[in-house]
Structure 1
């Protein structure tokens, strides 16, 4: 049973879809053009209503949809993204192929504001990758009235708390590394509610199936998180059999790099499309 949340972001608002597990397109679910508008557009056209992405801040304060600290792995540029202005970044292309080689063509880098305004009914799961992103995203969400369309995530709990202060209001949030570690340790002894509500002030945990040899997502972990009022979202899951196993366990959301595989699994269960 999918855990209902008081946060609108975490509940399908379309009549008849409440309680559906959520399907997230991880960085657009296209490893050849991750975090680009083309990747996100393809996912939305396939039926995805939840897009997972990362943001970093340019030298002149623009919020850019990008994962790495440096440009080298995925673009025609080199060096830290934060050293470049948006005008400079807009001249670069995302050109990485699946095996890490450079290919022809390419897609331009993407400003967060352009993604935010592209589809009014699509939700964004935003991982804040630097401290400078905090006031910028708070201002953009206020300007566009998009508080209920965005979940804020960060591995750094301090950055998440900084965002809450900058926003001056609550939005959907997942826990950072410390909060998640506390949940993993607390769940087996029945303290998940205390950690989730009194310490971390989070709405969900977004976790891998396992960390190295240590399993994270177990039936007991999911049950304890649900008892604490927390949804469980799992990343990154590309195998259909694993998707089915986790959905049977009762997880509330799956993130994938395989846009078609997760869509087919959700379709087979009647949970599609999601926007």
Structure 2
């Protein structure tokens, strides 16, 4: 098993640090949000990644600064010297991937690489900080997932790419994936992605299934009862309460 997945009980993952926790509103993917989740007892954080024009990797979801900061522009077209001036919700600086890894050494990170130019810089940071065993890297892009696997090798836990998920869902006999886990929504539009058959096939292959983004207690209970291995949530407060209620707020 990958060290990243070595955990007792269901994995509780703070999506963007817990973006909809009442204390985090407006502060997604900020150190404020990450620290707040860790303070609740979370050992797993999810964050998105972009690289600046000069190859600096930042924890940030959008390709533009506009929505959540006091600055504007496309991150991939701006140097770090400009991006570092932006403030999330007008107050919090955009954290570097390296800062999150170094500031929270006890935490494991799920990293979603949002653009092609972020793959190699991310691999460089993970090598330099000897952080490969602490992370799972995923992306909507199959090509990005395959590239990061080639760069960092078999020790790296990765999510399934879109093509791999589709094969396991619709043509499992064609699947040959080194991925460690499926990180999927229950539904994508009207399409039901998570089915009992998919969950059964994933577990038969020794793969984890993590479901995003689950923010209401009824769905949390239902998915945990179904046997998923982890939940990714914006409502870190509610998922913590659900797991405590179930006697599954177990720490590694």
Shorter-normalised TM-score: what interval?
over 0.9
TM-score (norm: length of structure 1): 0.86
Q: Deviations over 1:208-267 (max 9, x none)?
A: 011122222222221111012111100000010100000000000000010100011111
Q: Contact 2:168 / 2:201 at 8 angstroms: preserved in 1?
A: no
Counterpart position of 2:202: 225
For residue 270 of structure 1, the aligned residue among 240, 247, 250 is 247
- Secondary structure of the equivalent of 1:110? coil
Counterpart position of 1:54: 48
Counterpart position of 1:167: 152
Report the CA distance between 1:169 and its aligned residue. 4.0
- Secondary structure of the equivalent of 1:126? strand
Structure 2: runs of 5+ lacking an equivalent: 21-25
- Secondary structure of the equivalent of 2:194? coil
RMSD: 1.5
Report the CA distance between 1:184 and its aligned residue. 1.5
Counterpart position of 2:217: 240
For residue 256 of structure 1, the aligned residue among 211, 217, 233 is 233
Q: Deviations over 1:129-159 (max 9, x none)?
A: 1222222222222222111100010111111
- Secondary structure of the equivalent of 1:67? coil
CA distance in 2, matches of 1:51, 1:132: 22
Q: Deviations over 1:82-108 (max 9, x none)?
A: 12221211111112xxxxxxxxx5311
Structure 1: runs of 5+ lacking an equivalent: 1-5, 96-104
CA 1:168–1:214 in structure 2 vs 1: closer, same or farther (change >3 Å)?
closer
TM-score (norm: length of structure 2): 0.93
CA distance in 1, matches of 2:69, 2:185: 27
Counterpart position of 2:35: 41
- Secondary structure of the equivalent of 1:30? coil
Q: Contact 1:29 / 1:259 at 8 angstroms: preserved in 2?
A: yes
Q: In the alignment, does 2:10 pair up with 1:25?
A: no
For residue 128 of structure 2, the aligned residue among 139, 143, 151 is 143
- Secondary structure of the equivalent of 1:53? strand
Q: In the alignment, does 2:16 pair up with 1:8?
A: no
- Secondary structure of the equivalent of 2:182? strand
Q: Aligned residues, how many?
A: 247
Superposition misfits of 4+ residues, deviation over 4 angstroms: none
